[in-house]
Structure 1
């Protein structure tokens, strides 16, 4: 069996999601990585260092500069004959790209895989994570997106992969890049942070959201997340949303403040190692998954928590 991992990149660096995909792919067979972009030789060298990778396929051309699914798909389809499995992380990038590849290969993709039983059998969550489904796919080619929080990061050390330059594959002009607006934050990236502080509609306003969560996140060096209700109310930006329709996180510590615990939100964070909930409603569903719960007014509890943490740290 041979596996093609579709590399993901952020700001001239290999994204950690790719490392999780490599770990998953290593359970299926020999792993190659496709690095496609413009001026991405440094990223190919980073991929070359990943332990267990056999080959890095480098497609460096301006046509791939923006990572559009419409331009990358013909390239992947042409490479597909050499691979039994094609794997991408279940990020916005992977979920946008792989279904298009699958359609052109006339295959049904298996999405959001959390466990690999064998080369044809995979486990993934359904019903907002309330059930796990085991899928056996007997297609000649398997296309998978991998839930990154379910697989450890592959080591970026000791790799001896060969870098092979590959030719550009012409793509139809089905879309064009207009603009990309990146959110800049002083806090860690949400999906890779060890500690996440999330706020919900209970915070009451965008001003309260910032005034209470930012100091706590600064104290804990934490990423800031939000429930869908908080995002819909414009308390936080869309890229902060945690949940089934947002980002999936599994940090060492997840602090939910003013979040009721709707199924949609729980699907995105219930795999966190330790969950702390602060809510004035003792019957809030969030307490059913929390390891530690505090029934209190968050406007009083959060400032007190910050002071207690600072006292311990200093």
Structure 2
């Protein structure tokens, strides 16, 4: 039994989520092959070959795969998939974009956002915003799976010695084209992989007040997040959103400031190792999941905390 993992990358560097997805593949068991599809991404393939537990890296280097458009990537994966029992990808923006297309092309069901592997055909995944955990058994010959990467330990990035094999690229489908992207640049860690996250909600009242969180996050060497309410109110950019419709995170420390704790937000951060909540409302739902709670005015507590760090 061989497993195909789709690498997450930006054509120059491998995304850490790939290591967690390989961890999920290791829990299933069997030979693990990694597909690197991109443009000018040979260096990524060389990096991927060093991942512990990976026995082979498939490299599809073509301009058609430069931006991971599902109309181009999905047929490539579907063409390779019959040689494998499982196809895994991170439950990232890209993985959620192309893997359902792969499942449709293979005429199999997709198992989304798994958080545990019970056996080669049985998995656990959250439903109802994480309030229930479903156990799913698939009889599909090829199991197409997205992985909630925060639920699996990352494998070592070094120690492997996989071979790199080129695979033939398919012609550009011509069904879609990449126009542009706006990438936020920051010296802070990426929200999805940060060990410390300071997150703000509607209680901050304005975008200017988010500077309090940036200052604290910089002292802690962490990233800044936001609730959907804060994003909808225009206090923070949507790429900072944490929650069911945002990013799923599981840092070592999550500080929730002025966040009430709506179920959609809790679904995105409740797996954090330590949760600290600061809210002036003692009945705020966030306190039900917090390891440490401070009932206080955030405009007093956050500056004091920042000064004490």
Give the TM interval when normalised to the shorter protein: over 0.9
Q: Does 1:106 align with 2:107?
A: yes
* Match of residue 128 from structure 2: 127
**What CA distance in whole angstroms lies between the structure 2 residues aligned with 1:17 and 1:37?**
17
Greater Cα offset, 63-72 or 198-207 = 63-72
- The 4+ residue runs of structure 1 with deviation greater than 2 A are none
TM-score, with structure 1 as normaliser:
0.97
Verify the 8 A CA contact 1:74 1:171 in the aligned structure 2: no
Query: SS where residue 183 of structure 1 aligns?
Result: coil
Distance (Å, rounded) in 2 between the aligned partners of 1:140 and 1:193 = 36
Tell me which residue corresponds to 2:283: 283
Determine the structure 2 residue equivalent to 1:87.
88
1:232 aligns with 2:238: no
Distance 1:171 1:122 in 2: 35
Alpha-carbon distance in structure 2 between the residues aligned to 1:122 and 1:173: 36
Q: Which residue of 2 aligns with 1:312?
A: none
Alpha-carbon distance in structure 1 between the residues aligned to 2:169 and 2:106: 19
Is it true that 1:47 corresponds to 2:48 in the alignment? yes
CA–CA distance in structure 1, aligned partners of residues 27 and 260 of structure 2:
38
Q: Please state whether the residue corresponding to 1:70 is helix, strand or coil.
A: helix
Secondary structure of 2:130's aligned partner: coil
Residue of structure 2 equivalent to 1:69: 70
Q: Could you tell me how far apart the structure 2 residues matched to 1:38 and 1:119 are?
A: 33
- Rounded Cα–Cα distance in structure 1 between residues aligned with 2:258 and 2:24: 35
Q: Deviations over 1:212-259 (max 9, x none)?
A: 111101110110000000000111101100000000001110000000
Distance in 1, Cα, partners of 2:162 & 2:135:
33
Residue 169 of structure 1: CA displacement? Answer: 1.4
Pairing of 1:253-268 with structure 2 (within 5 A): 253-268=253-268
CA deviations over 1:76-125 (Å, ceiling 9, x no partner): 11101100100000011101110000011101100000000011000000
Normalised to the residue count of structure 2, the TM-score between the two structures is 0.98
Aligned-partner SS, 1:9: coil
Report how far residue 173 of structure 1 moved: 1.4
1:128·1:267 contact (CA, 8 Å) conserved in 2?
yes
Look up the match of 2:246.
246
Structure-2 residue corresponding to 1:159: 160
Q: Confirm or deny that 1:14 pairs with 2:14.
A: yes
SS in 2 for 1:27: helix
Structure 1 position 36 matched with structure 2 position 57 = no
SS state at 2:102 partner:
helix
Q: Please state if 1:273 is matched with 2:286.
A: no
Deviation of the 1:157 alpha carbon: 1.3
Conservation of the 8 A alpha-carbon contact between 1:253 and 1:274 = yes
Tell me the residue number matched to 1:59.
Answer: 60
1:193 aligns with 2:221: no
- The runs of 5 or more residues in structure 1 that have no matched partner are 310-314
Aligned residues of 2:11 and 2:39 also touching (Cα < 8 A) = no
For the residue of structure 1 that corresponds to 2:278, the secondary structure is: strand
